[in-house]
Structure 1
């Protein structure tokens, strides 16, 4: 807890009304979370404007209102109004201040890139744990301390908003965590969620085509990613990705390059990995993790001893197998990620590769036809289905994907219901075939126009495999 005067003393702002010697107990931009002594930040978001909820926040006991606009006459004169130039930056500053800037007391590693963030953060966490460190990994699949998922009330977002992140970091300090490894999404970076996190190591994995529309184009998307370069004390870069190399040309921080050619600082030609971890892209993910450990001062020979023990996180090439049929559930939802997985599985497939996938609604429409084209290029059978349609018509999304197939094809089918799409793929698979279910990975729900519906690709695949075995046995007995 701080006095309001202490919270704003180092921040450029204008203050009007109310009592500044008020004790602040929290800060939020969600009016439903406002309690007595809480500061309410009335930020204008993409979907709604916080100004609409100022009255509600005051009624619930808000100690002050933070705005980035003037002439809001509806605020009572006895309420403290703090006017700042950027609400998101102030939110980051104040959230850190309220809990004593916990990021300063741990090593902070932030990973950005279109694909691979989850895998790399978990690989780093696993390697650091092998050296006796207490590590927290924060990202798309949840929050883990020493590999164990913890319950923490927060939005399901890749990079947490500052009002949730800094109290979480404080919790980690209290539990003697020494290293934080987190995913830094482009949206998280562009909205200043990590501004007061004192990043020791930043990592740039790759640049693909996802999230262009959400940022307003490729230039804005890349600029969002580049923010991490300015924030980190040391920056690790994928030397094999030309766009990444170009992005760091004017960097003023120490750079470490990882990759497969001789110009990279970190290259391990004889890297031995867990045989269940397939694909060149996962080799690159491992090199990125190794690079982080090297920057932290660990020796390469010691790090390599543990690489064979690395495990992929949930929903990343997660494998089920029964009666000669292999099923892989993967989060691949961008053209680059889908191609990498398809290429990897096609190289190890002795039978047919059967692919089930869709595309999310209200997200980059430009990638849909491209992903359709890739699916049919590598697969024997493609079943196009719903992903997370949100408020968009699932049929329209599937139609956009089907444009990538270039005409009628007997090996391609559209099945609107994702459950039945998965069942069809598994029921038609024979021994030696591989079924890839792509797009949702670890997710336990499907986002539709009716809201969130419980749904797990892994659970549906396991159920279908079990029923397929039963049906096969029944057929044999009937014969």
Structure 2
């Protein structure tokens, strides 16, 4: 899919209005207006809005956001050629002959979009889920639990897309989509009488103010780890970015639910935070959790205790379910004793400990692509392995390089066999990425008594084929890093790819070989 068609699929169809908006009226309410060669009496009616000049139409306004920078004037000219009647610029200078509404901040832009889409008095409950790992799983499980609770529909958006239900998933391009797409999506939710919307809130989404003008009723902070540090200037500003969303939600009276087992979250979360944490015998949390057996979760709040059965495998999923449980208690006033009905047999999203049909051993696809996620995944699956634990993984190119040796060290210390391979190399050389992973493994081997058998196979298909050929009865194989992703990013091109499909292919071949 081309960048243009991907962008178009990310834009919802709620960007046209049933009635026109007076540019003068909007200017009076929200900002400062400059008319260029036009006089103020030459007011225009805005019939729709877009944030990409390629999708401008007659009667549209083009929304120029801060990231357009020096290209803003060129975008304005392109939109004018397609029939646009006005430009709305946010913190950027635009040279244009069209009427120009100049806004000072993304917050003003968000307020303008709420007026345009008539969502200022919306009744939907907005949940925002942030954290390094767990956002997708918590959002998925929360949507499923809220759907069980209410007759009205519940939507979610994030890494998997904009989800109306399990069979209606639409690509939105980014974990947290653009400001316009966010507001248009929530406008669609209002029209459809959606009870609640659960949104993944990424660090990029916060930093670029893609959620400006949206007051979330409940904010959730799952954990903190190492990811995207190169985009934020290090761990400290990355942490501060996450914290700013949580603190902003609390400042306007929203609920906050957070993981008590991360000291950085403890330090930055506001006073009114409600906490969940691992270990039943503690008094510093509102909800304590313990997974005594795979698939069985015990929750305790004050003197009450319940058991939830048939949850997805893995301690990290137990933690995710506990997070959802406390969120329901806090945001919907659900008693602890009613949670088993809502959370029993809750599902995990695709690519999160997704089990494949394997005749020998067990094979799982998992999205783990950070040191913390890989460690949690391997510790959880070690409990399932009667014999060897095997892991296949790589690290993405043009992303946080600090995590590469850390992931190598974790893999070699927690698994019995390791395959290092490619994972979205982008513009980097896969062999260089692999060498940085191996550096952590050598460091680990120097002072650890336990060291795994390591294989280097940069062709991901061959690595999957080799690791599947190696598994025996009682082994567990984790194919980590890409999860649900349907592409491999190589040299700036997204090539079709699926870990699950590729693994199924070689599992099928192995099964046929044993059958004969």
The TM-score normalised by the length of structure 2 is 0.85
Kept in 1, the 8 Å contact 2:413–2:452? The answer is no
Query: Residue in 1 aligned with 2:316?
Result: 281
How far apart are the structure 1 equivalents of 2:414 and 2:121? 45
How far apart are the structure 2 equivalents of 1:177 and 1:34? 29
1:470–1:329 distance in 2 versus 1, CA, 3 Å: same
- Which structure 1 residue ranges, 4+ long, deviate > 6 Å from structure 2? 407-410
How far apart are the structure 2 equivalents of 1:283 and 1:46? 42
For residue 148 of structure 2, the aligned residue among 98, 122, 130 is 130
Report the CA distance between 1:171 and its aligned residue. Answer: 1.9
Are residues 1:374 and 2:413 paired?
no
1:180–1:5 distance in 2 versus 1, CA, 3 Å: same
Query: Residue in 2 aligned with 1:258?
Result: 276
Query: Residue in 2 aligned with 1:213?
Result: 230
Matched position secondary structure for 2:494: strand
Are residues 1:162 and 2:179 paired?
yes
Are residues 1:115 and 2:133 paired?
yes
1:464–1:46 distance in 2 versus 1, CA, 3 Å: farther
How far apart are the structure 2 equivalents of 1:360 and 1:391? 10
1:38–1:157 distance in 2 versus 1, CA, 3 Å: same
Report the CA distance between 1:410 and its aligned residue. Answer: 8.2
Kept in 2, the 8 Å contact 1:209–1:367? The answer is yes
Are residues 1:40 and 2:58 paired?
no
Query: Residue in 2 aligned with 1:477?
Result: none
* Deviations 1:30-55, CA, capped at 9 Å, x for gaps: 12121222222333438984343222
1:247–1:450 distance in 2 versus 1, CA, 3 Å: closer
Kept in 2, the 8 Å contact 1:236–1:291? The answer is yes
How far apart are the structure 2 equivalents of 1:417 and 1:48? 40
Query: Residue in 1 aligned with 2:398?
Result: 362
1:71–1:206 distance in 2 versus 1, CA, 3 Å: closer
Query: Residue in 1 aligned with 2:5?
Result: none
Matched position secondary structure for 2:383: helix
1:414–1:47 distance in 2 versus 1, CA, 3 Å: farther
Kept in 1, the 8 Å contact 2:176–2:199? The answer is yes
Task: Identify the structure with the greater strand proportion.
Answer: 2
Are residues 1:335 and 2:335 paired?
no
1:397–1:50 distance in 2 versus 1, CA, 3 Å: farther
Query: Residue in 2 aligned with 1:96?
Result: 114
How far apart are the structure 2 equivalents of 1:192 and 1:28? 17
Report the CA distance between 1:373 and its aligned residue. Answer: 0.9
Kept in 2, the 8 Å contact 1:27–1:95? The answer is no
* Deviations 1:413-435, CA, capped at 9 Å, x for gaps: 22122111111111111111111
Are residues 1:235 and 2:256 paired?
yes
For residue 348 of structure 2, the aligned residue among 285, 288, 312 is 312
How far apart are the structure 2 equivalents of 1:165 and 1:69? 19
1:167–1:42 distance in 2 versus 1, CA, 3 Å: closer
Query: Residue in 1 aligned with 2:304?
Result: none
Kept in 2, the 8 Å contact 1:323–1:469? The answer is yes
Could you tell me which runs of 5 or more consecutive residues in structure 2 were left unpaired when the two chains were aligned. 1-16, 291-297, 300-306, 446-450
**Alignment length, in residue pairs?**
465
Report the CA distance between 1:127 and its aligned residue. Answer: 1.4
Matched position secondary structure for 1:226: helix
Query: Residue in 1 aligned with 2:437?
Result: 401
Range with greater deviation from structure 2 (28-37 or 108-117) = 28-37
Could you tell me which runs of 5 or more consecutive residues in structure 1 were left unpaired when the two chains were aligned. 475-479
Report the CA distance between 1:200 and its aligned residue. Answer: 0.6
How far apart are the structure 1 equivalents of 2:277 and 2:51? 41
How far apart are the structure 2 equivalents of 1:201 and 1:246? 19
Query: Residue in 2 aligned with 1:350?
Result: 386
